Structure 1
Amino acid sequence: MTLLAVERIKLFTTRSPWWCALITLAVVIGFAAIIAGNAPAGELTDVSLTQFGYKSGMAVIMVLAALSVTTEYRFGTIRTTFQAVPNRTSALLAKTGVVAILSLVIGEIAAFGAWGLAAVMRSEDLALNTTGEWISVAGVGVVFALASVIAVAVGILIRHSAGAISLLLIYNLAVENLVQLIPKLGQDIHKWMPFNVADKFVRGSGTGQMDGPPLSDSVLSQGGALAYFAGFALVLLIISLVVANKRDA
């Protein structure tokens, strides 16, 4: 508990988490407002469409998570942390846990805020009546939390803010889509790319009438997609912890 408290204090005494949280909320809820305000009457029937901006919000969350660890490497405070807590794994797990919890909370506030605003603005029935509809909203926070774990792991591995953030954003926003251009194998590989699979968990197969972003082509069920994405995050975190324990701070 002491480690968690220390990491919480370190995280919230910097400005970046506050700004990233506000930007995430603005992006996710703002996209919902745009969709709700411009969709033709009677066509916004899929709850998942209220989460149109969750991927952009997730990108900001990953920036927040990466900065939480790379900033310590940049200013050398990570050495003080490791001197105070010789067990590097414990210290880094505490940091990861605090960031993941914060990301979960931000994600849930953003997702339910976006859904609530769209429901108020529209005449269609956007009530959460099915498990899939609940996942489309409540699942955003879960994906944000797991994405933050991935970002922390990348930050530990790379240790430089610019490099870690660039890699995360380029991969999340471009690489997975570009993989589809690989002749013959591209589509098959894309089905198993982690963020594409995470999108399957959040949005499922889709049932709405209104055109939106392409649905995930993952072959997994929503539950399987969550397990796959969580497993990917866990493996990457374990690799980063092993590397952190073997090299100099």
Structure 2
Amino acid sequence: MTTINAERIKLQTTRSPIWLILVVVAVSMGFSAIQAAALSPYGVLEPARAAMGVSMFGVPVLMILSALSITGEYRTGMIRATFLATPRRAWALTSKAIVMAVVSAVVTAVMVMAAVALATALVSESQRASLSFANAEVWRAVGTMSLYAVLGAVLAIGLGTLLRHTAAVVAVVLLMPFVVEPVLGALPEVGVRVGPWLPFANAYTFTKTPWFQTFSMTWGAVGAACYFAVVAGAVFVLAIAVVTRRDP
């Protein structure tokens, strides 16, 4: 608990979390307003689409924040003090992952609910039924996107530990879902074979996030969530194995 509390204090004493969380808020609210404004008079706005700004852009930004918590220490040399204070390096990384996962989950849950509430205020009275908090789909969106944020935080900590440089992690986090995976998924014949194994494609499947997808996930939403969890866990375990064998 002392190590976890130390990681919490580190997070609270830097400015980057505040600015990045404000970016998440702005993007989430902006996309929610756009989806509501673009809705036809007889259209139905699903909760996952209303909160697509959270899953498509908000969670990647939170992943960058998670990566900064470890790459920033490598950049400044503070990682040496961290490992001196916590010789069990696996627990030091796990503590970071726990703190960032909790922060990411809370911010994501609040932003999904705020995005749905904003969309509800912008659509007509007859279109608000699908966005009502009495609708189970709203809470499914909150739960799945929060889970996505938790797994994304773990994945980002692992990537940050392996790559050590913020720019490298940012490139991976942004290029994979926005460039690499859409291109691979759209390739004739290749997309059908490779697509189901793309991690962010699976994340978008279990969060029901609209995404350009020309292939189907044979294992469904639950299987997609399990697959993304396995990828995040594997990267994190690899990071622990590497960091315990090399000098900081």
State the TM-score, normalizing by the size of structure 1. 0.91
Once the two structures are overlaid, the 10-residue window that deviates more, 4-13 or 171-180, is 171-180
**Cα drift, residue 133 of structure 1:** 4.2
**Cα drift, residue 219 of structure 1:** 2.3
- Residue of structure 2 in register with 1:90 after alignment: 91
- Residue of structure 1 in register with 2:34 after alignment: 34
> RMSD of aligned C-alpha atoms?
1.8
Q: Which amino acid aligns with 2:218?
A: V
Structure 1: give runs of 5+ residues left out of the alignment: 205-211
- Residue of structure 1 in register with 2:199 after alignment: 194
**Cα drift, residue 66 of structure 1:** 0.9
Deviations 1:169-223 (A, max 9, x none): 111221111112545232221122111111111117xxxxxxx654683222222
Does 2:49 align with 1:44? no
List structure 1 runs of 4+ shifted beyond 4 angstroms. 128-133
Q: Is the 8 A contact 2:204 2:211 kept in 1?
A: no
Once the two structures are overlaid, the 10-residue window that deviates more, 220-229 or 142-151, is 220-229
Once the two structures are overlaid, the 10-residue window that deviates more, 176-185 or 235-244, is 176-185
Q: Is the 8 A contact 1:36 1:44 kept in 2?
A: no
Q: Distance in 2 between matches of 1:80 and 1:156?
A: 16
Does 2:243 align with 1:244? yes
Q: Distance in 2 between matches of 1:240 and 1:32?
A: 36
Q: Distance in 2 between matches of 1:184 and 1:221?
A: 21
Does 2:154 align with 1:149? yes
- Residue of structure 2 in register with 1:166 after alignment: 171
Q: Secondary structure at the match of 1:246?
A: coil
Q: Distance in 1 between matches of 2:94 and 2:39?
A: 43
- CA change 1:134–1:219 in 2 (3 A) is farther
Q: Distance in 1 between matches of 2:236 and 2:94?
A: 9
Once the two structures are overlaid, the 10-residue window that deviates more, 218-227 or 239-248, is 218-227
Q: Is the 8 A contact 1:65 1:151 kept in 2?
A: yes
Q: Distance in 2 between matches of 1:130 and 1:55?
A: 22
Q: Distance in 2 between matches of 1:134 and 1:12?
A: 29
- Residue of structure 1 in register with 2:11 after alignment: 11
- Residue of structure 1 in register with 2:75 after alignment: 74
Does 2:179 align with 1:178? no
Aligned residues: 242
